[in-house]
Amino acid sequence: GDSVTQMEGPVTLSEEAFLTINCTYTATGYPSLFWYVQYPGEGLQLLLKATKADDKGSNKGFEATYRKETTSFHLEKGSVQVSDSAVYFCALINQAGTALIFGKGTTLSVSS
Amino acid sequence: NAGVTQTPKFQVLKTGQSMTLQCAQDMNHEYMSWYRQDPGMGLRLIHYSVGAGITDQGEVPNGYNVSRSTTEDFPLRLLSAAPSQTSVYFCASSYSSRNTEAFFGQGTRLTVV
């Protein structure tokens, strides 16, 4: 079945460091891909998405490119801030269109 | 603009008790769903609904019941709580299930003792 694998955390960075969180997926066809972010004590919110191969989603300085050749959707940011500390989830829509399938989440901690 | 509202935010239950977690959205979304979040497991789908009167099971439906009598509301019922149901529960809604942004509530932290 459909699945998402993302790198284990926690990821600890200093402010202004470069961030990469790896995400790969297994799915039938070419599902829409998402990154969601969860700040402490809150629900998830959409960070960015891509709906077809080679699409680049971007928001708040974060970017991810839909790579069908490597079935990947890695999240990147050139210069992280303390306020980026959160849990990041990679996700896809299953083939039936009935569910978001999430990775296990990666905790990012940024220190000043 | 309330979005997705979940109540309660915290709840402690004794084993065997029943309760209902409430979820309401004011965006006229057709699709609603319930997830549970456990450490190291990500979010797993419990039940979902593609519209009023239509519900279906997700990945982990056992021990839970849902109904969808209106577009706005999608309550989750725990029939006989067990310690394994200790978790954080999130309700989500979206315009449709495909390709569109899902909006999440702030979650209900449930502890079963």
Partner B contacted by A30 (CB < 8 A):
no
In whole angstroms, what is the distance from residue B6 CA to residue B19 CA? 14
Q: Are B110 and B20 in contact (CB under 8 A)?
A: no
Both tokens of residue A80? 């992280």
In whole angstroms, what is the distance from residue B61 CA to residue B49 CA? 13
Residue of A nearest to B34 (CA): A99
pLDDT single digits (tens) A61-87? 999 999 999 999 999 999 999 999 999
Compute the nearest-CA separation of B4 from chain A (Å). Answer: 10
What's B97's DSSP letter?
A: S
Is the pLDDT confidence value at B39 over 90? no
Going by pLDDT thresholds of 50, 70 and 90, the confidence category of residue A29 is: confident
Residue B80's pLDDT is what? Answer: 96
Task: Kindly determine whether residue A43 and residue B90, on different chains, have CB atoms separated by under 8 Å.
Answer: yes
Q: How far apart are the first and last CA of chain A?
A: 41
Residue A97: its chain B contacts at CB < 8 A? Answer: 96-98
Residue A9's pLDDT is what? Answer: 85
Residue B99 has its nearest CB partner, among A36, A42, A51, at A51
Residue B42's pLDDT is what? Answer: 87
Residue B90: its chain A contacts at CB < 8 A? Answer: 43-44
Residue B2's pLDDT is what? Answer: 77
Compute the nearest-CA separation of B91 from chain A (Å). Answer: 9
pLDDT single digits (tens) A83-106? 999 999 999 998 888 889 999 999
Partner A contacted by B45 (CB < 8 A):
yes
pLDDT single digits (tens) B66-109? 999 999 999 999 999 999 999 999 999 998 766 678 999 999 99
Residue A46 has its nearest CB partner, among B58, B97, B101, at B101
Residue B109's pLDDT is what? Answer: 96
Q: For residues A16-38, give the mean pLDDT.
A: 95
